Structure 1
């Protein structure tokens, strides 16, 4: 395509990509770091320039960093959000050239061959890139060269230096290889290039020579642009405006069938769908549908649009309809059996119908939590965004009704034969236990400051089946639940 044209590559390195992403929304004038957990220890993942100025560095223990810098501000890093942010920058960079790839976790590589003249030349182009990124609050280091390796080296170790004067670490080598070369006295790329190749290959492997040849242009290195994610949207332009609800539903069905076919081909399912209806007066109305589970079955999805479509004001008519899957999640193909999930499908449809009225986040369920403490043995989560089984099973049965501990008039360390609770005189018929539960020492719970609890299942002759406990360290009896 560019025969006879000198290849030019630009490397964009964002040394503080993670912190810049966070501080764009919440700036601070204090030292700020993002942390990650590595080998059961919290370590610094990314720092702002103030933190680096106080001597902190990546990989440093967070405890040591707090000792050096008491006013340090921190929060956990989100590697997924960083990857999505870098992907957004990659899409933005396609305004400068069509071939843009991702370089590691914090960089981009651009093949600007034949593109620089569109922006007034290479210098004005790089200046415009730097200016736009600086305006967006992102620190960037830019390197340019005839090869991908040379551009990367200049971005990380000096944009204006000659390639042969840069250190050997600029060849994208492992730290062990860099240390070995430095012990041999080979500190620059020029010194490495002048050294006989056979001994280097025997000692460090062919990977070292490959990186050297790539940087010098003796071996090609392709730039593979990331594939654009599939777009799940279809549009239907009508020759004549429509206004009847049945006509709108028929048009939506045509779009939905095509959209579900595309979702099926990508093994994906829609979680949020948006139906946009454009009227002849150029006004548009939207019907949003949030699904309880990822779906791609048009026969199940279409009736869920009925309520929203019935509330649309068609005005003088609708001449264009657009359907888009705003949020998509993986939905691999599953084996269908005679005991398939038809009941679960109907339950998901019911949750979706209720969610369209009150919001999916308000349709909630109880889930087991990994704790022996009764008050913490469950949690409440939106049904649409959680699984029915949380993976934790209590080793002993728990009462259906659970309430704050209520005192019982009784004595002794075993279930009393007679006791009073809620002004009722009760007699024990059968008692099962005890189940000793210790407080979680890492949490300061005022309700458990009395110490250990010995729980009993007590069946009374009056028919009440109670969950009682005794506190040995501060003697007393309490009722905390009732079995059905």
Structure 2
């Protein structure tokens, strides 16, 4: 078996400041201790280090963004990253607080080898915006240690993997600090030295815990508990700044939509609607609804709809956090292309329909619905275009009816077919009795009718 471990060294920090586009030094503090738990590269370049007191850090920085370490947010971010990588592994496991473990050996035939798999996974992780290190290993523990050491090994050769392990120091093996100090005091500073020491002697001096750790590192291939897809998708984003314009929400939502795409792909679903709940600075809440037609899953499709919606949105107060939820899951279906294969007729129509809904609003986009009524002005009515589609009736009626029938001189028209007697409406005091004809005037085909009193009227035009 071959394993791959992904280590996110600044997961809590980047999750906290992901929605902040400002290029500032960022500090994450241990709650109640006022010491630096994590900091970004901009802070490190100015002399800040993990474990430093925050007052010392403030002396080194002209300006910075600061927040407390949030283990819940870190855990939620690890879950989102698991969604992102879900369909790239036969099995994926969470290794809190900063790691993911993927079983990749059985996936290699699908990707034509490890190099192609590594490249594909790298592209996906790069799009997440999180810093990461990853490495393969012949056991889950070996892959984790090699990844956390930053070696970045991409190999399925067990000998190569083991040789790189031998070069690690005992401090890089994830052992407790007191145990590392004891080993170094004995002159054991590398894993190679530790491996060559008789296990019986190690057990006598350091206890069974060290032996069990070495066993897991070298031969234990038992997988941890597998990650399972949640039934629903929801992602909360806390802003470290006040978003005063709706357009400013696009930056944090862009990455959330990438996670949504990965989630929907993994479940082979599309969703019909996005709900974005905004928390405002003054404590109020508001809701944005982004509908789609027949559902979609791609980040690019949702981004196009979201941009149109945000352009039309006026915030009631600056936003401090937002929650993205998906609603209305449907099975994913392949789009049917035309004979040439470069056009998706129904898909293109649905995307245009969705863009109109986002631009104008659901209450301003309407379509015709057909009713089982013999009267043309009653049988064709307007309905919300996003409503359930009504039944279709096979009638030779025109696509455009005039708001009111128009009196005409029938001699100006050529009659092509008819009559078709339409009579009804006595049940609601709207009785009609007409003989309809299809006629033509020049190049325009028209729909005419004659009343019992001999009057002729134009009622519709054929497209």
If the length of structure 2 is used for normalisation, what is the TM-score? 0.47
Larger relative contact order (Cα-Cα within 8 Å, sequence gap ≥ 6)? 2
- TM-score, normalisation: structure 1: 0.45
